[in-house]
Amino acid sequence: MVDKALLLRKLADLERYLREIDEYSGVSAEQYRADWKTQRIIERTLQLMVETCADVANHIISDEGLAVPTTYANTFEILHRAGLISGELMRTMVQMAKFRNILVHQYTNIDAAVVADILRAHLGDFARFRDEVVEYLKGPRS
């Protein structure tokens, strides 16, 4: 059985991260490159956002008795195969999970243009993930 209270707390964390990073949504690649403090704030917040989404996904996967994920990216593929998130959102979240791995493991290879693109065009994808999970929590799947 899904622990709705736990998932809602995690989604509230995601919402807080979205509010916090919003002030950086207009940062250009040049501004990102020029300020190490801005880099750290953005990178850490994006990392937390992706990890929160993966954590939510893993709880749902466990509660639903779905396949055991092998990677962060795989958690979103499993949710999609189970019909719990859309294909478009799955593809985006897989890319976000891969980006998170670069942030964590290959920090010297972070592409400022990719970061600026995420800030400008993809923060809403996290809100879409939240919204699709909330829909899942509302009731039985068809």
Q: What is the mean pLDDT of residues 76-93?
A: 96
Res. 141 pLDDT band, cuts 50 70 90? low
Q: What is the mean pLDDT of residues 82-103?
A: 96
Domains of the chain: 4-138 (1.20.120.580)
Quick one: pLDDT at residue 139?
Answer: 80
Per-residue exposure over 68-98, b if at least 16 CB sit within 10 Å of its own CB, e if not: ebeebbbbbbbbbebebbeeebbebbbbbbe
The number of helices, as runs of H, and strands, as runs of E, in the chain is 7, 0
- The single residue listed with the structure tokens 């939240």 is 130
- Is-contact 16 126, C-beta < 8 A? no
Start-to-end CA span in the chain (Å): 17
Enter the pTM of the model.
0.93
Over residues 26-41, the pLDDT tens digits come to: 999 999 999 999 999 9
The pLDDT of residue 142 is above 60: no
